[in-house]
Amino acid sequence: MKRRDFITGAATGLVVGAGALALSACDEQQAKQDCPATPAAPAVQKKKRELKMVTTWPKNFPGLGTGAQRLADRITAMTDGELTVKLFAAGELVQAFDSFDAVSGGQAEMYHGAEYYWQGKSKAFNFFAAVPFGLLAHELDAWVHQAGGQDLWDELAAPFNIKPFIAGNTGVQMGGWFNKEINTVEDYKGLKIRMPGLGGEVLRRIGAAAVSLPGGEIFPSLQSGAIDATEWVGPWNDLAFGFYKVAKYYYSPGFHEPGTALSSGVNLEVWNSLSDSHKAIVRGAMQAEAANMYAEFTARNGDALKTLIDQHGVVLKSFSDEVMLEIRKAAEEVLAEVAAADEMTGRVYRSFVDVRRKATNWYGIGDGPYARVRAL
């Protein structure tokens, strides 16, 4: 070997050796960020899966429809596209009230709606959306997440091949839009009013003709006279639907929906096929969007109500205590009858009213007195 070649080889060996030592030192210091990161290994192609989400809401409808879209986008982003959720508004893949069956039967993987729409399957579903004189939004969360409600809901939905979640909340809703004043319970006699769930059954008990209509059919029905009155959600959503154009009186409060949860159901077989990490992400996304939607309704309702009154001449009214007490009496009769329907519904009812009793006691000590003083 020539002297020059020996020196060159030795130098190369020193450089390689020094590089190896440097890499070893960097490996030890990576956590401290003292060295540049070593080149990453080639990325492994991740398997992607598309989930169809059907909804009961019109496309891009504020709060409800947009909340469903945010949930779909949130799951997609949090899984880095491994679960890509594609949303279909009411009527695009299936009709609004067919969403539950579509997911149950595997035509779609997820739905976004309100559980009282499925009361034809079991009256117990009402309790996981809203029931007359039921729980406020934060109280419903407490029941579902901390007091056994989710376990009961899972048990109720499992025979239908559904894994359910709370995915939003509107907060307390309004009592409805009317073209005449409601001064006594007698004013409900013969009134054709859109009100779904057990609230509609309560109004039937006091003489109204309550019907259930999906959101997209309410305005034309009110405009044509097919119905005389309607409830929907609250000022923000009701302004968007333009009910002020066809009804004059806007009543509060909404006895039928004191804190309405929106829900998302996942096909149970699909849910069971997800990895633990994807299940954790979906759970987290549901809770995050539920909190976000409630915050959005709380932030926007006040401004929307002002617009309805100041710009559109809506007359804001409150139901009298006399009317509300008569409605409450009918409501308790309806709930008691529902509880007796079957063993599952009875267990849901007893759990629900136990939490309502405790929440009412605490509200009378905590939130209630504070809210009263704040309003002085």
pLDDT of residue 5: 44
Q: Which residues share a beta bridge with 317?
A: 251
pLDDT of residue 32: 43
* Fold adopted by 49-169+259-298: D-Maltodextrin-Binding Protein; domain 2 (3.40.190)
pLDDT of residue 45: 61
Cβ 263 vs Cβ 154: under 8 Å: no
Tell me which residues of the chain have a pLDDT lower than 70. Answer: 1-46
pLDDT of residue 48: 93
pLDDT of residue 9: 42
Its pTM stands at 0.84
pLDDT of residue 21: 33
DSSP result, 193-234: EE--HHHHHHHHHTT-EEE---GGGHHHHHHHTS-SEE--S-
